[in-house]
Amino acid sequence: MAGSWTVRDVLDWTADHLSRAGSDTGRLDAELLLCHALGGMERIRLYMDPDRPLSPAERDAYRELVRARAAGSPVAHLLGEREFWSLPLKTGPEALIPRPDTEAVVEQALTHLVESEPVRVLDLGTGTGCIAGALASERPEAGVEAVEASPQAAALARANMEQLGLGERVTVLDGEWFGPVADRTCHLIVANPPYVPEADPHLEAGDVAAEPREALAAGADGLDAYRTIVPEAPNHLEPDGWLVLEIGWDQGETVKALLTEAGFADVAVHRDYGGRERIVEGRWPGTGG
């Protein structure tokens, strides 16, 4: 990229370059990175003024972003932010990048939270805090505790809750699974745990290769986290409380069986917006069964 380059020129060149470098979203990547290089411009403005020339400083900033993206850095890391449930969340290599499919988990969890009740929620493996923040934003009366094993990811989640104005209602706790809440119960437990088999080649592909392995892989079959969470969850649920879990697309029946074996009722598998199995949930029976 040299000489007098316009918005149209750099977008066309970069979209092709990133696609050849392996991105499945070359054009979108090019637009998002250019908006960032131009100071946070909205994408629509790229098309309102496509003949706008870039200054040398803007070209240099964009060139560095494009170079990093072509080398495998996720766009969310380069931008430092990803929107989830219409909430802007800081992102980084210390935590998983929030995915749109996980919004289906939030949607399902919300069906178990009455809007006006001061319910207690536990989010396990919170990462960026995306699920905890989304639930707290939709249920102002809910108190949310979010547990995270990685100190770096926990710090990121705290920063996100403060940025969203949710710091007083979402408490981020350092620790693994139920360790920090050993003596407490709640109305809802939700988790997006690691569920990829440790030898899965997808762990080395695309954006996933730049994300923390411990937040993705869970043993030889990808089920280790569920084997820990499901048997322990009843000790932390109120009668008729719910456990809602994100799963891999082919794990529905297996995780469903784990909940049934543990004594959960009303166990069900739900699909995400793309039609893939994404959620397994179950109710811990009250005194009435």
Q: Over 56-70, what HEC string results?
A: HHHHHHHHHHHHHHH
pLDDT value at residue 114: 87
pLDDT value at residue 1: 45
pLDDT value at residue 287: 60
For residues 104 and 270, is the Cβ–Cβ distance under 8 A?
yes
pTM above 0.75, yes or no: yes
pLDDT value at residue 195: 96
CATH of domain 84-283: 3.40.50.150
pLDDT value at residue 268: 98
Residue 79, burial from CB neighbour count under 10 angstroms (0-12, 13-18, 19+)? middle
pLDDT value at residue 105: 98
Give the residue extent of every domain in the chain: 7-71, 84-283
**φ and ψ at residue 156, rounded to 5 degrees:** -65, -45
The candidate with the shortest Cα–Cα distance to 146, out of 119, 165, 127, 162, is 127
Chunked into runs of 10 residues, the chain (289 residues) has average pLDDT values of 79 95 93 94 91 93 96 94 96 95 97 89 98 97 96 98 96 97 95 95 89 93 97 96 96 97 97 95 80
CA dist list (Å): 200 to 74, 209, 245: 20, 11, 21
For residues 160 and 137, is the Cβ–Cβ distance under 8 A?
no
Report CA Rg, the chain: 21
